[in-house]
Structure 1
Amino acid sequence: MKALVLTGTEQMNLSELMIPEPIPNEVMIKVKNCGICGTDVHIYHGDPGSAEVTPPVVLGHELSGEVVAIGEHVTNFKVGDRVAVDPNIYCGKCKYCRSGKVHLCSHLSAVGVTRNGGMEEYVLVPEANCYQLPDSMSYEQGAMVEPLSCVLHGFKQLTIRPNDRVLIVGGGFIGMLFLQVIRNHTFGSIVVNEINQAKHEVLKQLGATEVVSEINSTLYNQFDIVIECVGKRITIENAVKCADKGAQLLLFGVPSPNEVVEITPYDIFNKELTISGSFINPFTLDEAIQLLNKGIVDIEPLISHRIKLEEVQSVLENYPKLGITKALITL
């Protein structure tokens, strides 16, 4: 089978690998679509993903496909089933798993991070990590279940009231997902800060009250909810400045492990801010499937690039220059 193998930092080989055989609790999936995530870009350039990455490995944790073989102990799926994949595999034994915080698992592993993922024609996935797709959903929608499930976990960190003033910092793919989820829960204003003006019209169509190219002092202390979707020093610092008294601030963007920000603690104290992080996607995939299937979240305007496996490395190398909202691989 054809597979794109990460062999080292900024090194990939398009290879022919043996088609794997599922062990008793696994299913084999013929991959139909696989999204490229910002985390894949980080990993390609040598940073960790949700867990440490040790090449050689096949990336791709946003994937959907058809079940083509099952292990002897698999009971919930059959050949021909259409599935989306939760890439995150938990040990079930550590203190975090035993207290219900599985996403903080001390021994977290993941499809497309610590084991081969969706940038290959056939992938093995534990049965527990597969989710049945309704017949009415496309495989492209199925590949977007995982990123939407991560957004939903972040959304659940917040308490949003009907008239809250919301600021989303970063209007790329994740910002657009947040925009649609929040618009479904509030009648308040939603301002999106997005530097790329080519995305402004889509953001307005998806429900943004206003789209701004830059953060300036007129936006300071103006918002009840601030969601940071970029993970850069300046955007995180601006997010704190824009939070009003009593505001909630969600840090969702994935920063470099070495990123350091300057925040005045007095602002947190004086404004009594609630600052939350959000890591991966525990218990939110079923909800993500329903939101996509019912059209509450529309991913069609968000897919900017449809590519083949042979084009992936070039996309990873030039990601910031390409104006990508979401690149989707078709296998």
Structure 2
Amino acid sequence: MKAAVLYGKEDLRLEEVAVPVAGPGEIVVRVGAALTCGTDLKVYKRGYHAAMGTPPMLFGHEVAGVVTEIGDGVQWFEVGERVVPMNSAPCDECFFCLKGQQNLCEDLLFNNGAYAEYIRIPARIVEKNTLRVPEGVRLDYAALTEPLACVVRGLEESGARAGDSMVVIGAGPIGLMFMHAAELAGVDVIAVVKREDQVEAAKLFGARQVVRIDEAVDVVEAVRALTPAGRGADIVIEAVAVPETWEWAVEMVRKGGVVNFFGGPPTGTVVALDTNRLHYGDITLKASFHHTPATCRTAFELVSSGRFKCAEYITGAVGLGEVPAVFERMMVRGGVGMDIKTAVYPVSRGEAA
């Protein structure tokens, strides 16, 4: 079969590899659709991922498809069923799992290989974190479940409730997903974006007001002016992952509010925060990482319900052979046009319907 294989930093090749075989408890899925992701782009830039694998490695993790083979002992799925397998599953036995923090599992099992004709799903993911896709739900839409599950967990960890005000800094794929999920939850969203093309995207996905950083003399003051009595937002989501926006987030939140540092800067990054404001403002600082089986199911329900704007979120479509070129283009994202997610169809787009 054809598959995208990462050999190192910015070295992604389409190759012929063996079709995977299902071992005990495993399934093999014919890929209907896979989606590009910011995490994949980070791995592409870096050439490896300590937890997800080292090169040469199969690549991609947001996927949905059809079961073509089941291994011994599989009781949950049958050949021909449409499924969306998540990219990880916890052990449910370690310290963190027993504390209800499955996203921090000490033995979190990851899986890659979405940019291929077929993908093998490990037994633990089959058992704990693979979901059936109902008829009427497109496979390319179902593949949005994994990133949305991370966002759902971020919203839950931030305590977002209907009627709250929320600032989302950043209008990349995750920032836009936060805006839309928050809007669907009844949260009033203010977006902070970088470029003109991101303004309409932010509004499309639920932002009531938008602040462009290249138009505001003082971005923090411009945002606070849009909040009730100028006191700041109840919640601020940072989805850019640079020190400046981490610092903005703390200045944009109200007293007693919550900041969620969702964007993860590189190791060793340092920020300067006003400790007086943090202490006397009784501000809660959070950081959310990854997802859990529970938030995967919440996200999947949101996708399968038809409430999430899946069609608008998938802005590009390519065949498997174009994957290396897609990642080359993603390296220079920020030019003309708003590209959110590209769907990769190994066979035909019609199979994702």
The reply to whether TM is greater than 0.5 is yes
Paired residue secondary structure (1:227): strand
Q: Quote the Cα distance in structure 2 between the aligned partners of 1:261 and 1:119.
A: 36
Write the deviation string for residues 268-313 of structure 1: whole angstroms up to 9, x where unpaired: 1121111111111102122212111222211211222212222222
8 A Cα contact 1:47 1:256, kept in partner? no
- Give the Å deviation of 1:48: 5.9
8 A Cα contact 2:7 2:47, kept in partner? no
8 A Cα contact 1:64 1:83, kept in partner? yes
8 A Cα contact 2:9 2:48, kept in partner? no
> What 5-or-longer segments of structure 2 have no aligned partner?
214-218, 225-230, 347-353
* 1:125 paired to 2:125: no
Runs of 4+ in 1 over 4 A off after TM superposition: 47-50
Q: Quote the Cα distance in structure 2 between the aligned partners of 1:44 and 1:252.
A: 20
Partner of 2:35 in structure 1? 35
Aligned-residue Cα RMSD (Å) equals: 1.8
8 A Cα contact 1:85 1:130, kept in partner? yes
Q: Quote the Cα distance in structure 2 between the aligned partners of 1:50 and 1:224.
A: 35
* 1:91 paired to 2:106: no
Paired residue secondary structure (1:318): helix
Q: What's the % identity of the aligned pairs?
A: 31
* 1:213 paired to 2:209: no
Write the deviation string for residues 143-197 of structure 1: whole angstroms up to 9, x where unpaired: 11111111111111022343322101112221222122211222x5311011121
Paired residue secondary structure (1:72): coil
The amino acid that maps onto 2:175 is: G
Using the size of structure 2 for normalisation, the TM-score is 0.87
8 A Cα contact 2:30 2:65, kept in partner? yes
Partner of 1:325 in structure 2? 340
Q: Quote the Cα distance in structure 1 between the aligned partners of 2:191 and 2:15.
A: 41
Q: How does 1:1-331 map to 2 (within 5 A)?
A: 1-46=1-46, 49=49, 51=51, 53-112=53-112, 117-126=113-122, 127-128=126-127, 129-186=129-186, 189-214=188-213, 215-220=219-224, 221-282=231-292, 283-323=294-334, 324-331=339-346
8 A Cα contact 2:14 2:324, kept in partner? no
> What 5-or-longer segments of structure 1 have no aligned partner?
none
8 A Cα contact 2:220 2:252, kept in partner? no
8 A Cα contact 1:170 1:193, kept in partner? yes
Using the size of structure 1 for normalisation, the TM-score is 0.93
Write the deviation string for residues 26-73 of structure 1: whole angstroms up to 9, x where unpaired: 000001111111111111122765825311111111100000000011
8 A Cα contact 1:40 1:49, kept in partner? no
The amino acid that maps onto 2:73 is: H
Write the deviation string for residues 228-256 of structure 1: whole angstroms up to 9, x where unpaired: 11111221111111111111111112322
Write the deviation string for residues 98-138 of structure 1: whole angstroms up to 9, x where unpaired: 333221111223112xxxx2011111103223210111100
8 A Cα contact 2:319 2:344, kept in partner? yes
- Give the Å deviation of 1:227: 0.8
Q: Quote the Cα distance in structure 1 between the aligned partners of 2:323 and 2:274.
A: 41
The amino acid that maps onto 2:298 is: E
- Give the Å deviation of 1:261: 1.8
Decide whether aligned partners of structure 1 residues 88 and 263 sit closer, same or farther in structure 2, where only a CA change above 3 A counts: same
Q: Which piece of structure 1 moves more, 163-172 or 95-104?
A: 95-104
Q: Quote the Cα distance in structure 2 between the aligned partners of 1:75 and 1:53.
A: 29
